[in-house]
Structure 1
Amino acid sequence: MKKLSVALAAALFVAACGGATASPSGPALTGDISIDGSSTVYPIAEAVAEEFQNANSGVQVTVAFSGTGGGFKKFCAGEMDANNASRPIKTSDKPGDDGVAGTADDVLSEATICKNAGIEYIELKVALDALAVVVSKENTFVACLTTDELKAIWDLDSKVETWADVRAEWPAEKIDLYGPGADSGTFDYFTEVINGEAKRSRSDYTASEDDNTLVTGISGSQYALGYFGLAYVTENADKIRAVEIDGGSGCTAPSADAANDGSYAPLGRPLFVYASVAALARPEVAAFFRFFLENTNELAAEVGYIGLNDADLAAAKATLEAALK
């Protein structure tokens, strides 16, 4: 972790004094906080947890990454206090085998499963991300890919096998594909905006919920291609590089500015944390999420993500305070 700014150090002092939930003379915070979900949001949540625990030694914050969907399964079962998500929670139920909506065999959405289990939650936007399409540093021929080319490579029943199948002037070498698993919000987001339907994807690629595993695979093959959050590119810039993406308005590299101004469409996206309302009734959880929102922009930037604008940050804080009343 980089050296703390004056603002963050001051926030840590307030948290250490119990100022997030009680008077400075109140008891020290204690307890355990459990968070799972997106591997993309993980670096932000882990950075927040580290700094919060530095100021509150009686609180243990555990952050894991089983993917957005995997995390929601645990969250909606009441096993987690919060879930990190690289996409919004799914809210639409789908007909089951009988093809009729509203019957017993419906495939229930995450929101419905949570509701049926009595899990109330709030959605907090905590940062922005530019989803990066990545190649090895040894790849010298790919500078930019169009969204149509990405769809040709990644779509269900794709016939693309080699780089020459994408552009004739590229090497006739097999593309080694790497990407997130089916429980990942990154997988859902990418397949929806590139292939036109969430989870619609070829399956003959190396999948992992651990983005560091994907980095290792891509960096080890000159002809590899994969996708994940920009933070992992920034962290591993000596091994891999992001290619520019042309969504119809010219080739654009992933960056904070491009995500904020919309020029990195369609691969710029918001990142979320979903917090259990019941968990927020505990003082250590309330203090943690107040601390999270007070410091998310600085800590997100430190780990390679993009901070919220003033309006979005104010909206997140208002949502949290309303749930704490």
Structure 2
Amino acid sequence: MDKGTKIFLTLFLTYAFFTNTYLTTNDASRFSLTAAIVEEHSLVIDSYLDTVISKWWFAKDYAVFDGRRYSDKAPLGSFLGVPVYWAFSFFTSDPAVLTYFVSLFTAGLATAATALLIYRFGAEFTENHSVRTGLALAYGIASMPLFYGTVFFSHAFTALFGFTSFYLLFMYRRRGGEKKLVFAGVSSALAVASDYYAGLIAVILFLYALEISRKKAYVFLLAFLGGISLLLTYHWAAFESPFALPYLYSNLFSKFHSEGFYGVRFLDWKKFSNLLSQLFSVWGFFFTTPFALLSFAALPRFSKTYRLETLTIIAITSG
């Protein structure tokens, strides 16, 4: 068994120990869609949302269309959970047990896979297996993915597919191969299908592909459009328009999504202070992921050889 496989299994078993059996308003919305697809072959979550959510929470994250409730989340995570829910529903109908296995075999697997990809990617920069192993494990158990690998949120899927797209584009730049562009485009689309705000990342990745090869960037774009067409089909089936995001009908639309472009807007002082808190407070990014500071410190040196990749990383991080 090679080191990459050991890293993957170690992290997956770690997540198996910590995976939640309860649902908050965020993941209850996503899980309800999974249950509705399996149990009722429907996208309407009325039968499940109030049942599956844990007693400490009340449902807020949903969209209302034609008097029926739908998930207000990007749907990829829910669809990834369908085969897991279906398989384990033969053995139990307990929502807590189903929540555990759906979360583990979606978010847990995705987070462990991302760590494995980090380990593989590290081979492009160093032959030191200890450094590569340390980076992969630091990502998996010494940062926020330790949490997001145990809950049915979108973060694990968005990270996996977003990073996969970047990795494939980097490998295409080094070694060529149009298939890498195809899979990079599809991966970027899957990231958006997991979290709509990953559309910003998809745009940056397309610009990266364009800088790598202006003649071949269309391959990435066509693959992305092919992948995103599945998301548009879901919108059409649920909301009768391919471009009707569930945020338009969200219970929380006026609070979170009405300003700017679906909630994406320029920073004012209040938003900037919130950003600083999210970055530097005891619950902030740099407190929970301290090694990220080392990554930023290494960027000047990294940029001497990989200027385009450095700009891409900065743009994605800033977005």
What interval of TM-score do these two structures reach, taking the shorter chain for normalisation? under 0.3
Structure possessing the higher radius of gyration over alpha carbons = 1
* TM-score (norm: length of structure 1): 0.25
Of the two structures, which has the highest relative contact order with CA contacts closer than 8 Å and spacing of 6 or more?
1
Of Structure 1 and Structure 2, the greater strand share is in 1
Of Structure 1 and Structure 2, the greater helix share is in 2
* TM-score (norm: length of structure 2): 0.25
